Amino acid sequence: MSALDHLPILVVLIPLLTAVICPLFQNGRTAWKLALGAAWSSFAIACMLLHQVLNSGTVRYQLGGWEPPWGIEYRIDVLGGFVLLIVTSIAALVLSYARRSVEDEIRPGRISFFYAAFLLAFSGLAGITVTGDAFNLFVFLEISSLSSYALISAGRDRRSLNAAFQYLIMGSIGATFILIGIGFLYMMTGTLNMDDLAVRLPEVADTRTVRAGFAFLTVGFGLKLALFPLHLWLPNAYAYAPSVVTAFLAATATKVAVYALLRFLLGIFGVGFSLMSMPFDMILIGLGLAGILSASLVAVFQQNVKRMLAYSSVAQIGYIALGIGLASHTGISAAVMHLFNHALMKGALFMSLGAVAYRVGAMHISDFAGLGRRMPFTMAAIAIAGLSLIGIPGTAGFISKWFLVLGTLEQGWWPLAVLILLGSFLALIYVGRILEAAYFGTPKENSAVREAPLSMLIPIWILVIANVYFGLNTELTVGLATQATTDLFEALP
Amino acid sequence: MMAFLVITAIAAIRRTDLFAVTMLFGIYSFLTAVLFMDLDAVDVAFTEAAVGAGISTVLMLSTLRLTGRFESSRRRNPLLPLLVVTVTGSALVYGMLDAPPFGDPQAPVHQHVAPRYITESPDEIGVPNMVTSVLASYRGFDTLGETIVIFTAGLAVLLLLGMREGQNLRPSRLAIGDFLVLRVVVKVLVAFILLYALYVLLHGDYGAGGGFQSGVIFATGFVIYDLVFGEADVRRVLPPRWLARLAVAGILLYAGVGIFSMLAGRPFLDYSVLAHDPVHGQHIGILLIEIGVGVTVFAVILAIFYAFSGLRRPSQVA
């Protein structure tokens, strides 16, 4: 085997082993450099993998040299490669940005532990996207969740402990449900390999055990991806976690949970079972809508900006759920597109908030007064990413919403389209509140707030420019998302 | 057995004395372990006994020393959790209705993947304990993942509590250290516990056991000594910094085996390249990775224990 054949395992193994080595270094700066190197090499590998997948189809790798279903198989298709690209690129950018923010927010003696946990969370998420084995997915889910709990609790604010504990309880229930679901499927099919499951499930699909397994899996992943009304852990966790952690998790963790749900719903159970014979499509549409409207409404009234954007994340997940619930090619493509676009905008927004936290130290909306003049570049970034969040034409956010509206109109459900636009309108209000404070509020006197350092601004602006670029040039995102969806539909009738 | 389990669980919910609750949890785990035995899952039972009834009880007790013995408030509305539990329980029962009966040889579990594990593994891997073959070789990557989960748990505790270097302490006289009988018994017992742990590690190929259980038992030996004789001695033998290195070394040993197979031109964790004869290579690979797992599990558990017992000191000095 040549080095190229090992890429699927290397993309996970490099950050994983770097994470293990990190705690050995007392010096936080060294740990940061290691983490940075690992994340960028993973990103490079992810690009190569996606290239391989697009050129020569699904990439497979047999761990331990045992062929599936006896051994564990890594399997990357277009969807997996696409999500892997999201995770690795955000990790690389967030880590490039992280140094100063982490030195500011984490206790000095624990910085190398922090980076180790960060890399573990990252490799856990990457592992979920590349694996082709249901139980292996659970193992990596555990790695990523455990380290996320630790990362959130590392926040400066004491309330972060409570938030992490809440997340830990909800997350563990979710993980247990997923495990039970996988157990039920194994009981009925005798296999854990995803492709093999997909082949063997239809035979036994009409049993109570499989239906119960389906229910456990969807509720479990629903908890993990913060689907309304299972989102209660998310606002506090995002609001009180260290800035770097919020930026990374908001942009990746829920996306990977959505990916895993898609993998099970469409890749294993198949559209016919999940969305047609089970009434799950209607449930998803209903919950998605409820999530969009209620969370956006709550976001409008938030005083803490980080919390406001956390609620906005719940709303954005609503759009994704809605897209999946449409059960059509356009709808699911829109959901997949929104995974990428939402990662771009929320990454940029939460990183900008981190820059504000670094210079100002507080997150109340009144603290933003006058920042438009003090931190012009950071605020401009918030403005552009905010426009993308609303879905203004010319930004990435517009593209996914456009496809979502198309999807609803395709089915003739125009009231849904109206409600989606209402959600955008609510986003306009809450983003408007931040910008109003920043550009028209009177700054507090004698504050010596300066623009954020370049090491933070550059990664933020890369994401901001990506928001605009993918709003104008839709070839890559739309092309990948539609191909990924086509593959999902074609794999199974 | 199930009835006992239910009674214990209800008792654990009703009590406010956390010490009693901890003990009930221990009993609960032990009952579960017996149930697993009953289902012929010896390896699982062993793990449950060592982890659930053994070390987690000790860790909970050492937490209790920090927090106090009684629950502070119980003003919670139990309706929602009760509803969730009921729904979950009924979903589980509903799911079991169509499941193949226990022990049915025609069940899909026994028809698809398992036959190869049973018939081929002695020839392919050469290890009599099939559970070990599956865990360590066929699904060896999952086991590496699980070991990293343990590592993550240790890391999480360190990230929260920080790592305290051994401040050269004199042996402290803790409450339970004053009983002569206890001191003598523990002193004798510790040697046997450690020896047994090594046996479990090396015997995993043949009978129940393996790196996981062995690491837990090894750590238990240290914890018992620590509890009775104070931690200064234990810390002198194994300073926290070394524990961190051990935990890392365990995983690196495991992953190193995998990387070696990659360098030899085979997939990650393919042990057959470790010797000229593939079956012999499997044997060496399994032994090496079991040692890796054991070392990491041991170091992480002891590190967690140190982190908790290190917290206690400032308040006691004051």
- For residue A42, pLDDT over 80 is answered with yes
SS3 A122: helix
Stretch among A370-374, A427-431, A435-439, B162-166 having the lowest mean pLDDT: B162-166
Q: Is residue B229 part of a domain?
A: yes
* Phi, psi torsion values for A228, nearest 5 degrees: -55, 135
Instruction: Say how far apart CA B197 and CA A363 lie, in whole Å.
Output: 52
What's residue A385's pLDDT? 93
Stretch among A26-30, A422-426, A437-441, B166-170 having the lowest mean pLDDT: B166-170
Instruction: Say how far apart CA A241 and CA A235 lie, in whole Å.
Output: 10
- Give B37-51 pLDDT, tens digit per residue: 888 888 888 888 888
pTM above 0.80, yes or no: yes
- CA distance, residue B114 to nearest chain A CA (Å): 8
- Give A103-152 pLDDT, tens digit per residue: 888 888 888 899 999 999 999 999 999 998 999 999 999 999 999 999 99
- For residue A492, pLDDT over 60 is answered with no
Of B98, B109, B138, the CB nearest to A64: B138
pLDDT confidence of B130, banded at 50, 70, 90?
confident
Query: In this complex, how many residue pairs, one in chain A and one in chain B, have their CB atoms less than 8 Å apart?
Result: 171
What's residue B315's pLDDT? 43
What's residue B165's pLDDT? 52
Instruction: Say how far apart CA A115 and CA A26 lie, in whole Å.
Output: 12
Q: Is residue B298 part of a domain?
A: yes
User: Measuring CA to CA, which residue among A48, A27, A22, A36 is closest to residue A94?
Assistant: A36
Q: Is residue B89 part of a domain?
A: no
Q: Is residue B231 part of a domain?
A: yes
The ipTM is 0.87
What's residue B199's pLDDT? 86
Q: Is residue B8 part of a domain?
A: no
Q: Is the model more confident about A148 or about B139?
A: A148
What's the DSSP call for residue B48? I
Return the residue in A34, A113, A216 with the most chain B beta carbons within 10 A, the one to mutate for interface testing: A113
User: Which residues have CB under 8 Å from B36's CB, separation 6+?
Assistant: B42, B44, B45, B48
Which run of H or E residues covers position A363?
Answer: none
What's residue B140's pLDDT? 84
Would you call A208 and B98 a contact, using CB atoms and an 8 Å cutoff?
Answer: yes
Whether A420 and A326 have beta carbons less than 8 Å apart is answered as no
- Give B225-277 pLDDT, tens digit per residue: 887 777 677 777 788 788 888 888 888 888 888 888 888 888 888 888 888 88
Residue type, A481: A
Q: Is the model more confident about B60 or about A447?
A: B60
Query: Residue A203: closest CA among chain B residues belongs to which residue?
Result: B108
Q: Tokens 């590190």 sit at which residue? A: B303
For residue A73, list its beta bridge partners: A62
- CA distance, residue B38 to nearest chain A CA (Å): 19
Whether A343 and A251 have beta carbons less than 8 Å apart is answered as yes
- Mean pLDDT for A175-183 is 92
Would you call A6 and B97 a contact, using CB atoms and an 8 Å cutoff?
Answer: no
- Helix spans in A106-193 (H): 111-130, 134-153, 159-189
Average pLDDT, chain A: 88
Structure tokens, B192: 């046997």
Residue type, B238: L
- For residue B124, pLDDT over 80 is answered with no
Residue numbers of the domain that contains B262: 128-316
Whether A62 and A68 have beta carbons less than 8 Å apart is answered as yes
pLDDT confidence of B168, banded at 50, 70, 90?
very low
What's residue A386's pLDDT? 92
What's residue A319's pLDDT? 92
What's residue B316's pLDDT? 44
% pLDDT > 70, chain B? 87
Q: Is residue B246 part of a domain?
A: yes
User: Which residues have CB under 8 Å from A381's CB, separation 6+?
Assistant: A348, A352, A457, A460, A461, A464
What's residue B76's pLDDT? 64
Q: Is residue B134 part of a domain?
A: yes
Q: Tokens 């997940």 sit at which residue? A: A317
Structure tokens, B168: 């050269």
All structural domains of chain A with their residue ranges: 279-493
Instruction: Say how far apart CA B137 and CA B129 lie, in whole Å.
Output: 12
- CA distance, residue A461 to nearest chain B CA (Å): 31
Would you call B113 and A69 a contact, using CB atoms and an 8 Å cutoff?
Answer: yes
- How far is CA B30 from its chain centroid? 14
User: Measuring CA to CA, which residue among A189, A198, A345 is closest to residue A273?
Assistant: A198
Tally the domains of chain B: 1
* Phi, psi torsion values for A25, nearest 5 degrees: -95, 125
Q: Tokens 């085996």 sit at which residue? A: B257
Output the CA–CA distances (angstroms, integers) from residue A357 to A3, A307, A329, A375, in the order listed: 43, 13, 41, 12
